[in-house]
Amino acid sequence: MRLTCPHCGARDRREFTYHGPASLLDRPAPDAGEAAWNAYLHLRDNPEGESRELWYHEPCRAWAVITRDTRTHAVHGSAAP
Amino acid sequence: MRLDGHGLIDRTSPLSFTFDGRRIDAFSGDTVASALLANGVRLVGRSFKYHRPRGIFTCGSEEPSALVTVGRGQGQEPNARATMVEAAEGLEVRSQNAWPSLRVDVMAAADLLHPFFGAGFYYKTFMWPRAFWERLYEPAIRRAAGLGRLSGVPAEDDADKAYSFCELLVIGAGPAGLMAALTAGRAGADVILADEHPRMGGRLLMEAEEVDGLSAADWAEEAVEELASLPNVRLMPRTTVTGAYDGGVYGALQRGASDTFWRITCARAILASGAIERSIAFPGNDRPGVMLAGAVRGYLHRYGVAAGREVAVFGATDDAHRTARDLTRAGVEAVMLDAREDAPAGDGFEVLTRARVTGTTGRHGIATLTVTHAGGARSLHADCLAVSGGWNPALHFTCHHNGRPRWDEALATFVPTPDAVRGLAAAGAARGDFSTHGALAGGAAAGRDALAALGRSAPEAPLPRAEDRPVRQQAFWMVEATGRKWLDLQNDVTDKDIRLSAQEAFRSVEHMKRYTTQGMAADQGKTSNVAALALLADATGRGIPATGTTTFRPPYVPVPIAAMGAGARGRGFAPERRTAADTDHRRRGAPMIEAGLWVRPSYYPAPGETTWRQSCDREVRTVRERVGVCDVSTLGKIEVQGPDAGAFLDIVYANRMSTLAEGRVRYGLMLREDGHVMDDGTCARLPGGRWIVTTTTAAAGPVMRHMDYARQCLARDLDVSLVSVTDHWTQIAVAGPLARRLLDSLGDLPLLPFMGCAETTLGGAPARLFRISFSGEEGYEIAVPARFGASLWRLAVAQAESLGGAPYGLEALNVLRLEKGFLTHAEMDGRTTAYDLGLGGMVADKDAIGVAASRRPGLVDPDRPRLVGLVPIDPAGVMTAGAHLYDRSAAATRPNGQGHVTSAGHSPTLGHALGLALLRGGPERHGEVIRLVDAMRHVETEVRVGPTCAYDPDGGRMRG
Amino acid sequence: MGYSGFRVFWEGLTGNRGWRPVWREPEPKARYKVLVIGGGGHGLSTAYYLARNHGITDVAVLEKGWLGSGNIGRNTTIVRANYFLPGNSEFYSHSLKLWEGLEGELGYNVMHSQRGLINLFHSDGQRDAFVRRGNAMAAQGDDAVLLDREGVRGLLPYLDFEQARFPIHGGLLHPRGGTARHDAVAWGYARAADARGVDLIQNCGVTGIRVENGRVRGVETTRGPIEAESVAIVVAGRTSQVAAMAGLRVPIESHVLQAFVTEGLKPVIDHVVSFGMGHFYISQSDKGGLVFGGDLDFHPSYAQRGNLPMAEHVMEAAMTLMPVIGRAKVVRSWGGIMDMSPDGSPVIDRTDVEGLFLNCGWNYGGFKAVPASGWALAHLIATGAPHESAARFRLDRFRTGRGLMDEEGTGAQHHLH
């Protein structure tokens, strides 16, 4: 499996660490309330198909938003957060 | 029987090996199977369930039957396919799954009981009496099951892993693969051509054909020579591609003196894996001597071996006639049993039309067969029965990404679905183009397509001339006759099992496979799956397309664990991290223990000490009374710089860090976003703008990633940069009443207040000095660049000893912190909150990671297990980590559980055991006497709940 | 007619013609009292216990593919009760007791084999964590034995005690842990549920869930609409998609977990063994294949297949721990889709839609839960109250933070459990 780092290009999957969906970038305000924080921390769209995910490229320490298909594992895009 | 004038073996290099102790003469270029056949050996093994005699069925990696054990000891390989093992001088080959001998196997009695051992019989019995399953039935089943035996000694550590990249990977070097590689190679593409046999050419080496006026084998040799001359083409013989993975990554197993497991990454791949012949189900079709017709031709042309002296060929295709023809021309008696009405006439051999083999005889190999045909019924003598039910494309890789093949009615076979694996295109027989011309043309076309996809132009080249007879295949799966007809030769699955499966409602093809075990043996049913599902389709009346097929999964051929796990034996499994002073620790005799990837000294035995406790107690007392030095280089160190460093640290720490003054150090607590504690450590603000975040040893990597996440994903607007300097600095803790005197003996180091820090120099080297304490004594940590680390360590130890001090290891470090109630990951176990650990006050009212979630009601419930200290009521009482806590009179049952001991140890300072525990409502229960129960270590102790800090609670000693 | 040795013998004498279908293949009715979406282990056991414990037989199990085609058809078959947090402890303890009587209960040999499970540890810290676990197991009334290095050597002499990168300090033995024949569990429950009148509908994909005024009314399927009073979603791996049909967003991420099996070998590994410093656990099946697995591939996936990094890691762990199996050859690998939850523990609960129930979040450990999961969900559906063994498997624990069961201590990152 290969993933794309926005800085280094296509690399072996072993260089990357998965973190979670890209929705984690939209962090609620501290006082957003229990429901908002619950949705942020726990609930997931978990899409079957195109998925935007946060990955860490260990060798260059860059975080990336990688667009990937969860049915085929095809990578469609990669960008800095 | 070896035939003169045939075969591509090297008759100038004879060799010999043994099979069950018998000497087998062979030539270089033989496989074990070809040599056994040449020596007239037909019986080579026993089947899994009924222990039926088994012989050689194919001449390739699809072999279901001829499994043998090769070698002995470290290199012993069970279940090796005799068709793939190259004959070598002195090789020791043994049969398996037979006792006392291959010819006289008592377990063959199972065959007599076959009416009771049908598909799934074990699900219906062995249930009574219940206790008998584990004690009697199952052990007997386990002993009987399995085929080969592992040697019982560790496998040789000689396998390797390797990585390669190319533009085009061509899988298989038959006519299609060679043509594809030539087309792409001549155009300059970076090509890898992999083939599982030692000699490339595939079926071209196994047929009596001409290509471009040359014999097929000669043409193949010229093609391989040309490919070898191209610098942009890499040839990988003896290499079986094992799996298609994501992103153009393929696994491959290269055999040789030792195995190499390759990970090949390519932009495009061509599947030119050819086709696999299928058998026909008829009674007694499993006897040794019954072989696939193409394999019989293969042994003739590739190895110069006649698989029998009297050969009957049974099939329903023109292709099967070639076997009879080639054998006849080689002087072997052959008769063609053609199932078709309109069978063509024989080219020098007898042909029976509308033929059906209805039975065979022969104890250890076929001797006679009965056949009905257009002219009546006959009994024939034959020591080899070559069978062909047609060919199936070897399309397995196209299923590795969950693609399902398509049923081709005209070819009566499954063919690959295009684009089932992105970037992989099938060509030649693997795609259903069964003629040699079709394979060459398909290979060339696939090569051109690949070049176009790679953005390369393809020069036109003429196609080599080759036979181009139309290929007709018809469905002919089974002979209607009484008797067991085998499908899966390894797992002993017969037509009866398939029918029983359908009868019992296991009608889905997946149910049938699982219920009967069809295709679940080591060969994944390569020669039998299609016929089995044809029989299932017949039994259910659904037809083959509606029945569908099971899928194929990697690996294509069995792969040794030692190959895919190469390099990991012993210490190779994970890298080992050593501090700069590692050699000095070892030189002092310190037992080194694992701390994640690091190895650290656990204690430094002094003369006369015989137990770790003696050393540990002494080291603790030394720190409390004199001075100790400890190598703490493994702690994570992260430098933070930039105008917004303070604001950034306020996001990652739960407590406020931005207010820290230059030259000061503050204890910090990091939370996960879910509100639980992630890690703790100190944060120092050096004069001049650098901040140094210290993490625990275990969390150094995760915290770095976490801080990068905070910076790049959450605090994108802040001007701050981070770098891990864990490996760059050696850090040594100096602790004890004489700590300052030791520092002064090292050099001119600045005076610091408690929780102060400074940048300085030591012996001309840059140094950092922190006045912090994890021991509760006056303590410093001094850091120097790692290249000076060993020198500093030696110097510090020498000075400590001159002051009556000593180095101390992890054991003493842990006791010192336990006496003080300081935390480690035994307390910060990922389930605890700052509130639980008595640090709730540190969580500041600000937008830091984890603060919002830490205020969820369930996380601030006073009844949660919260940190307390424990001391035994009886000073001699034992306390152990992992013990559970109960009220004094309550039984030790889960509903009564009050918490558990996180850390425990003997305090030489206080003279009794000490513990830290997470106790429900703990801080409200100081003074209470409770019960500690460790059923695992048979310990039960009454303990008193108290504060976490048992030594110098005011901290006067570390403040100095 | 029941299964027995005598029956096998009799049928063998008479040509095996008397074996009846293990289940009917009924057409779906227009309405049922209870619909169970998902014909995997959990769905089938739910249907069985609805009939067996509560007399509710007007039940259909709707299966998109073939019965047992989900994770019960693709796992490493381990059965254990060695959890340590309240909630999990009592649930898996209950499940193991049900396993111990399952053959008699179902009249089907699921080959539950209590071969003993050994978790190895490689440091003092790991030892103390396993002691804590063992004490929790003992307090629950289950069995656990702490083994030192020599104790492990006595049971598993083939491990590499001399050179392994992470030395073996000892292990926690769970004598009642073991394995079972995974497919047979699905078939046994299916056959027994069918015998009690449950309709098992294969090739019936659910395409919609009908909700009116906050109450579930039934489902749309590829074989037409079906009405029901209660609907249970029991589709681990695809919980998000099915729950979304009822407008629910769930705390689940779907991840792929690989497993591997070797060719058949004469007995070499008697126990279930799990490595403490890498992702590797192994047992040997009754057929002789070494069955082993590792951790997730660590990325969301609905493709039932894995990739080389984890596959190679697993083989590397095997080589450092037990190089004696190095020449065994892997013949098949596969991947299952895991329902990963934020604390690594499952959910058996009502939803905000009345009459709609959720059974999900089994992470990589759903196989051993099959009996108790069905038992508890059937109880919840039939009585409206959670069964005592699964009372903590609540959906709202994430929102409130109350009663989290994070055995790994890795926090609200679904894939890290």
CA distances to B172, B615, C240 from B739, rounded to whole Å, are 71, 20, 60
pLDDT at residue C269, as a whole number:
97
Residue B536 has pLDDT above 90, yes or no: yes
Q: pLDDT tens digits for B438-474? A: 999 999 999 999 999 999 998 888 999 998 888 888 8
Q: pLDDT tens digits for B334-387? A: 999 999 999 999 999 999 999 999 999 999 999 999 999 999 999 999 999 999
Report yes or no: A19 at the C interface, CB cutoff 8 Å.
yes
- HSE at residue A13, side-chain half, CA atoms within 13 A, is 25
Q: Are residues B165 and B264 in the same domain?
A: yes
Residue B489 has pLDDT above 90, yes or no: yes
- Whether a cis peptide bond, with omega within 30° of 0, leads into B129 is yes
Q: What is the DSSP letter of B200?
A: S
* Cross-chain CB nearest to B121 (options C8, C68, C308): C8
Q: pLDDT tens digits for B915-927? A: 999 999 999 999 9
Q: Do B125 and C411 touch (CB under 8 A)?
A: no
Among A5, A26, A61, A76, the residue to mutate for chain B (most B Cβ within 10 A)? A61
Residue A66 has pLDDT above 80, yes or no: yes
Nearest C-alpha neighbor of B113 from the set B170, B50, B203: B50
**CATH 3.30.9.10, chain C: domain bounds:** 113-177+253-340
Report yes or no: B628 at the C interface, CB cutoff 8 Å.
no
In whole angstroms, what is the distance from residue B486 CA to residue B495 CA? Answer: 6
Q: Give the domain-ending residue among B453, B473, B494.
A: B453
Phi then psi for residue B178, to 5 deg, are -60, -45
Structural domain contains residue B936: yes
In whole angstroms, what is the distance from residue B728 CA to residue B565 CA? Answer: 32
Average per-residue pLDDT for chain B: 96
Q: What is the DSSP letter of B471?
A: P
In whole angstroms, what is the distance from residue B745 CA to residue B751 CA? Answer: 13
Q: Do A2 and B851 touch (CB under 8 A)?
A: no
Q: pLDDT tens digits for B880-916? A: 999 999 999 999 999 999 999 999 999 999 999 999 9
CATH architecture of C113-177+253-340: 2-Layer Sandwich (3.30)
In whole angstroms, what is the distance from residue C297 CA to residue C309 CA? Answer: 8
List, as one string, the DSSP characters of C170-216: EEEEETT-EE--HHHHHHHHHHHHHHTT-EEE-S--EEEEEEETTEE
Report yes or no: C125 at the B interface, CB cutoff 8 Å.
yes
Q: Are residues B231 and B300 in the same domain?
A: no
* Cross-chain CB nearest to C252 (options A17, A38, A46): A46
Structural domain contains residue B739: no
For B938-960, letters b (16+ CB in 10 Å) and e give ebebebbbbebbbbbeeeebbeb
Among B164, B246, B703, B845, the residue to mutate for chain A (most A Cβ within 10 A)? B246
pLDDT at residue C1, as a whole number:
65
Q: Do B245 and A56 touch (CB under 8 A)?
A: no
Q: pLDDT tens digits for B399-418? A: 999 999 999 999 999 999 99
* B248 contacts in chain A (CB < 8 Å): 2
In whole angstroms, what is the distance from residue B897 CA to residue B931 CA? Answer: 10
Looking at chain C, how many residues does it have? 417
Range 414-443 of B in CB contact (< 8 A) with C = none
* B246 contacts in chain C (CB < 8 Å): 307
Among B564, B597, B603, B676, the residue to mutate for chain C (most C Cβ within 10 A)? B564
Mean pLDDT of B220-240: 98
CA distances to B769, B780, B926 from B959, rounded to whole Å, are 16, 11, 26
In whole angstroms, what is the distance from residue B525 CA to residue B266 CA? Answer: 29
Q: How many CB pairs under 8 A join B and C?
A: 371
CATH of the domain at B110: 3.10.20.440
Nearest CA-CA distance, residue B459 and chain C, Å: 37
Asked if B672 and B609 count as a contact pair (C-beta separation under 8 A), the reply is no
Q: pLDDT tens digits for B61-114? A: 999 999 999 999 998 999 999 999 999 999 999 999 999 999 999 999 999 999
In whole angstroms, what is the distance from residue C223 CA to residue C246 CA? Answer: 19
CATH of the domain at B339: 3.50.50.60
pLDDT at residue B232, as a whole number:
98
**CATH 3.50.50.60, chain C: domain bounds:** 5-78+183-251+343-416
- Report the number of distinct structural domains present in chain B: 5
In whole angstroms, what is the distance from residue C226 CA to residue A4 CA? Answer: 46
Q: Which helix (H) or strand (E) holds B550?
A: none
Asked if B736 and B625 count as a contact pair (C-beta separation under 8 A), the reply is yes
Q: Are residues B254 and B180 in the same domain?
A: yes
Nearest CA-CA distance, residue A25 and chain B, Å: 6
Q: pLDDT tens digits for B560-575? A: 999 999 999 999 999 9
In whole angstroms, what is the distance from residue B944 CA to residue B951 CA? Answer: 16
Q: Are residues B283 and B384 in the same domain?
A: yes
Q: Are residues B307 and B345 in the same domain?
A: yes
Q: Do B713 and A62 touch (CB under 8 A)?
A: no
- Report the number of distinct structural domains present in chain A: 1
* C86 contacts in chain B (CB < 8 Å): 894, 897
- Match 């003896």 to its residue by tokens: B238
pLDDT bracket for residue A47 (50, 70, 90): very high
Structural domain contains residue B401: yes
Q: Are residues B224 and B319 in the same domain?
A: no
Q: pLDDT tens digits for C205-240? A: 999 999 999 999 999 999 999 999 999 999 999 999
Pairing state between β C215-221 and C59-62 = unpaired
CATH of the domain at B895: 2.40.30.110
Q: Are residues B413 and B382 in the same domain?
A: no
Residues above pLDDT 90, as percent of chain B = 95
CA angle at B261 for the pair B260 and B265, rounded to the nearest 5°? 125
Asked if B523 and B65 count as a contact pair (C-beta separation under 8 A), the reply is no
Q: pLDDT tens digits for B608-645? A: 999 999 999 999 999 999 999 999 999 999 999 999 99
Nearest CA-CA distance, residue A7 and chain C, Å: 21
Q: Give the domain-ending residue among B334, B357, B389.
A: B389
pLDDT at residue B733, as a whole number:
98
Looking at 1.10.357.10, 3.10.20.30, 3.50.50.60, 3.40.50.10070, the CATH number of the domain C5-78+183-251+343-416 comes to 3.50.50.60
Nearest CA-CA distance, residue B860 and chain A, Å: 14
Q: Are residues B874 and B948 in the same domain?
A: yes
Report yes or no: C81 at the B interface, CB cutoff 8 Å.
no
- Match 């009521």 to its residue by tokens: B873
In whole angstroms, what is the distance from residue C150 CA to residue B337 CA? Answer: 65
Whole-angstrom Cα Rg for chain C: 21
pLDDT at residue B550, as a whole number:
85
All residue ranges of chain C with pLDDT < 50 are none
Mean pLDDT of B837-855: 97
- Match 């879910």 to its residue by tokens: B674
Determine the structural domain holding residue B447 and report its residue range: 160-276+393-453
Q: Which helix (H) or strand (E) holds B897?
A: none
The most distant pair of C-alpha atoms in chain A lies apart, rounded to whole Å, by: 41
Residue type, B577: R
In whole angstroms, what is the distance from residue B880 CA to residue B937 CA? Answer: 8
* B854 contacts in chain A (CB < 8 Å): none
Determine the structural domain holding residue A38 and report its residue range: 2-79
Counting runs of H as helices and runs of E as strands, what totals does chain A give? Answer: 1, 6
In whole angstroms, what is the distance from residue C185 CA to residue C191 CA? Answer: 10
Which chains have 3+ CB pairs within 8 A of A? B, C
Q: Which helix (H) or strand (E) holds C241?
A: helix C239-244
Q: What is the DSSP letter of B207?
A: S
CATH of the domain at A37: 3.30.2270.10
* B150 contacts in chain C (CB < 8 Å): 265-266, 268, 324-325, 327-328
* Cross-chain CB nearest to C263 (options B400, B522, B831): B522
Q: Which alpha helices (H) appear in B404-508, and where do they start and end? A: 436-453, 495-503
- Classified as helix, coil or strand, B861 is coil
In chain C, the residue whose alpha carbon lies closest to the alpha carbon of B502 is C21
